[in-house]
């Protein structure tokens, strides 16, 4: 039985996504490669070199992907 809320799609022009900083239990910032940059590099070069590491992630995606500010801007369109 599905009981999904449709609140998020009420007004698509206003972004509801939030960029948050991920911390460990010890309050240290977790740093991971930006998902957006990772995909871009992979598509451009066919492999992934060392990319930008960030501690910010999209808290509104189920998988909580890490994003840098630039990629989050794209993601949040």
Which residues would be at the binding site for Zn ion (CB under 5 A)? 17, 34, 36-37, 58, 61, 68, 71
Q: Supply the minimum distance, in Å, between the C-beta of residue 15 and Zn ion.
A: 10
Lookup: tokens for 53: 């590491």
CA distance 45 to 37: 12
Residue nearer to Zn ion on the CB measure, 26 or 62: 62
Q: Supply the minimum distance, in Å, between the C-beta of residue 53 and Zn ion.
A: 10
Residue nearer to Zn ion on the CB measure, 20 or 28: 20
In the chain, the largest separation of any two C-alpha atoms, in whole Å, equals 44
CB count within 10 Å of CB 52 equals 16
Q: Supply the minimum distance, in Å, between the C-beta of residue 3 and Zn ion.
A: 22
Q: Are 35 and 42 in contact (CB under 8 A)?
A: no
């Amino acid at each position: 039985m599905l009981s999904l809320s449709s609140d998020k799609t009420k007004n698509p022009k206003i972004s509801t996504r939030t960029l948050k900083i991920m911390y460990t239990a010890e309050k240290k910032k977790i740093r991971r490669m930006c998902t957006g940059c990772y995909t871009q590099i992979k598509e451009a070069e066919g492999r992934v070199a060392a990319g930008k590491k960030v501690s910010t992630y999209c808290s509104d995606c189920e998988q909580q992907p890490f994003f840098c500010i630039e990629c989050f801007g794209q993601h949040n369109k």
